[in-house]
Amino acid sequence: MSAQIGAIEVDEQALFAATAKYQQPDLRKAIWQVVNTLVPYVALWILMVYTIHTGISYWITFLLAVVASGFLVRIFIFFHDCGHQSFFASRKANTILGYICGILTFTPFDDWTHSHGVHHATAADLDRRGTGDVWTMTVEEYLAAPFRQRLAYRLVRNPLVTFILGPIGVFILNQRFPSKGANRRDVIGVIITDLAILAMIVTLSATIGFWTYVKIQLPITIIGGGLGIWLFYVQHQFEGVYWARHEEWDRVRSALEGSSFYKLPKVLQWFTGNIGFHHVHHIRPRIPNYNLQRAHEEVPVFQSVKPITLKKSLKSLRMNLWDEDQQKLVSFRSLRARPRASAA
């Protein structure tokens, strides 16, 4: 089976064969990533506690929290890899680290892994939206929706709501409860994560003070969570993205054209754990983050995917609806040019 990607015809079996070797976990790289991320993260926490307790300006603490939020994003990437069983060769090691990272990022490991697996199976499929993805409506759906639904959709698509209030709603509130359709293991995992988070809050409150904890954790969660939501958003909401109805949906196209190659500056690429190579990740979800760049550079097909730069990615904020007629994302503003009869 083959797929047409731009001017290139891609053989699915050949592509999967060419990328198989990159799935092999590397224990040395994995351990080094854990060390070079968790150690600085803990050190920043200690430094922030010191700045607060010694009366140093909170702006210094806040700046340290901004840096710490970058490390939290990287921790979430490890959590993500563990969910795909790609970070370590050992399933047990992936589960243990996954739970630890899940507690630090306020995300239940098993429940999130299940919904994320559904996302991978349904990405870019217009008929299977709704699990583990960004809420996306077609133009026709939006125009036919009642006022309340249109208002809710506009709020969700508002950057202030999505990237500032969103982290509070998603990481602090929503993920304290099992997702719809969660199985027994997922529910137990949510309970374990919630109890561990509670124990962490109680312990830190008893040692450093509750408000000290809040002054540190809240900005880290909002900034880190906002960055994480932005990364997930731009991975499947960008100019030229591929979406299709289920009967026409193609797995290879959904990966190479429905997932972005987000080309970031090296320092941001490091903090985001190479997740910008999202087109590679969707072809082979079990490639660990530390092998994604090598796979991209060594497999010619991946280099045919046009990169999205940091500047270009900002256009995604104006792409709110999928237009099935034009086969592209369009803005709310574009609806103004439509005849009144279409909007009735």
Beta carbons of 128 and 328 less than 8 angstroms apart: no
Q: Is the pLDDT score of 342 beyond 60?
A: no
> Per residue in 145-160, pLDDT tens?
999 999 999 999 999 9
pTM reported for the whole predicted model:
0.94
Give the number of residues written for the chain.
344
How many Å apart are CA 245 and CA 124, to the nearest integer? 8
Three-class secondary structure assignment of the chain: CEEEECCEEEEHHHHHHHHHHHHCCCHHHHHHHHHHHHHHHHHHHHHHHHHHHCCCCHHHHHHHHHHHHHHHHHHHHHHHHHHCCCCCCCHHHHHHHHHHHHHHCCCCHHHHHHHHHHHHHHCCEHHHCCCCCCCCEEHHHHHHCCHHHHHHHHHHCCHHHHHHHHHHHHHHHHHHCCCCCCCHHHHHHHHHHHHHHHHHHHHHHHHHCHHHHHHHHHHHHHHHHHHHHHHHHHHHCCCCCCCECHHHCCHHHHHHCCCCEECCCHHHHHHCCCCCEHHHHHHCCCCCHHHHHHHHHHCHHHHHCCEECHHHHHHHHHCCEEECCCCEEECCHHHHHCCHHHHC
> Per residue in 237-282, pLDDT tens?
999 999 999 999 999 999 999 999 999 999 999 999 999 999 999 9
How many Å apart are CA 337 and CA 339, to the nearest integer? 7
Q: What is the pairing mode between strands 8-11 and 2-5?
A: antiparallel
| Nearest in space to 322 (alpha carbons), one of 230, 236, 243, 232 | 243
pLDDT band at 343 (very low <50, low <70, confident <90, very high): very low
Q: Is the pLDDT score of 1 beyond 90?
A: no
How many Å apart are CA 211 and CA 1, to the nearest integer? 58
In this prediction, residue 6 carries a pLDDT of 62
Q: Is the pLDDT score of 10 beyond 90?
A: no
Residue 318, token pair as written in the block: 């104006």
> Per residue in 291-326, pLDDT tens?
999 999 999 999 889 999 999 999 999 999 999 999
Task: Give every CB contact of residue 185 below 8 A, 6+ residues apart in sequence.
Answer: 110
In this prediction, residue 5 carries a pLDDT of 67
> Per residue in 93-142, pLDDT tens?
999 999 999 999 999 999 999 999 999 999 999 999 989 899 999 999 99
In this prediction, residue 344 carries a pLDDT of 38
> Per residue in 200-227, pLDDT tens?
999 999 999 999 999 999 999 999 999 9
In this prediction, residue 4 carries a pLDDT of 64
Backbone angles phi, psi at 307, to 5 degrees: -75, 155
Q: Is the pLDDT score of 175 beyond 70?
A: yes
pLDDT band at 180 (very low <50, low <70, confident <90, very high): confident
Beta carbons of 142 and 153 less than 8 angstroms apart: yes
In this prediction, residue 246 carries a pLDDT of 96
Q: Is the pLDDT score of 7 beyond 60?
A: no
